[in-house]
Amino acid sequence: MVFDSTSPFTPSSSRVVVQAEKVNKFFGSLHVLKDVDLTVSKNEVVVIIGPSGSGKSTLLRCINHIEKINSGRIYVNGRLIGYYEKNGRLVEDSERNIAQQRSEIGMVFQRFNLFPHLTALENILEAPINVRKLPTEEAEAEAVKLLERVGLVEKRDKYPNQLSGGQQQRVAIARALAMKPSLMLFDEPTSALDPEMIGEVLDVMKELAHEITMIVVSHEMGFVRAAANRIIFIDEGRIIEDTTPDSLFNDPREERTRAFLSKILH
């Protein structure tokens, strides 16, 4: 892939995984994202924090085009996500193309969203077999490896309602990884969990942080300290701070960052 580094709309380096430019998003008259710019490079682990309703989850959902943006551009791996450009205007891409792009982006949800009619193993197999069109044996071998990795191989034939919240979320991570994504998005992955189960999910995520680009919406400061390269504070739809965890905790630029941190750090 060749990028024109002089064009304002193309990422300047192939090491860039996500590039968002002047992204605006409205829900009706509510302006949720305001001119958001964000660049995430390969193997970076970016944590997004912010008050509820600040737009942090919406930003994440725009990156895989589960939410449509109203203006701006979002590139993932150098390709516009969800749209193509025609005479300088965005036109929504075909469903097939969007699906293909999404298949390279893993997403983990707050409420797990495992498929309740399928076992843990079948949940992981579903997309590799039906989207990547892998032969069943190959897909199954990969799925079992992923289950081993999240420590749940003995639960392979259990249905989601037979698993604890922490176990369900680990299966959900394995399910996303089965598509071999180049980017993982985590939307508050531990906020629906009982406190004693948060650790097991964060452990899996910390492991993963060594090998894949991640954008994580979460207030788990343990994870931030252990794994994040960058932390972003969003408030009222704007990126207020974009820095390293150290400098955010020790020397926040803005008063509202300080106020917010004092609330979540106790």
Partner 1 sequence: MYHFDWAVFWQYLLPWTALANPLIRNGLVATVVVSVVAQVLGVIFGLFAALGKMSKFPPLRWIADGYIWYFRGTPLLVQMMLLFFGLGVTHIYDFPDLHLGPLLITGAIQAGTLALAVNEGAYMAEIVRAGIEAIDPGQMEAARSLGMTSGLAMRRIVLPQATKVIIPPLGNEFNNMMKTTSIMVVISSGELFFGFTQVNARIFKPFELFIAASMYYLLLTTIWSFIQARIEGSLGERKGIERGPGMFQRIFSFGGGRGVR
Based on the shown chain and the rule CB under 8 A, indicate whether residue 146 belongs to the binding site for partner 1: no
Number of H helices, E strands in the chain: 9, 12
Q: Are 216 and 236 in contact (CB under 8 A)?
A: no
| Smallest separation, CB 175 to partner 1 (Å) | 7
Q: Residue 179, interface with partner 1 (CB under 8 A)?
A: yes
Residue 161 touches partner 1, criterion: CB under 8 A: yes
Instruction: Say if residue 89 is exposed, middle or buried (CB neighbours under 10 Å; 0-12, 13-18, 19+).
Output: exposed
Minimum distance from residue 144 beta carbon to partner 1 (Å): 18
- Do residues 118 and 126 touch, judged by C-beta distance below 8 A? yes
By DSSP bridging, strand 16-27 and strand 71-76 are antiparallel
CB of 136 to partner 1, least distance (A): 15
Q: Which of 175, 183, 198, 204 binds partner 1 (CB under 8 A)?
A: 175
- Locate 186 and state its tokens: 């985590």
Backbone torsions φ then ψ of 236, nearest 5 degrees: 50, 40
Rounded Cα gap, residues 21 and 29, in angstroms: 21
Residue 64 binds partner 1, judged by CB under 8 A: yes
Which of the residues 82 through 141 are near partner 1 (CB under 8 A)? Answer: 95-96, 99-100, 102-107, 109, 111, 113-117, 126-127, 130-132
The number of residues that bind partner 1 (CB under 8 A) is 30
Residues that bind partner 1 (CB under 8 A): 64, 66, 95-96, 99-100, 102-107, 109, 111, 113-117, 126-127, 130-132, 159, 161, 172, 175-176, 179
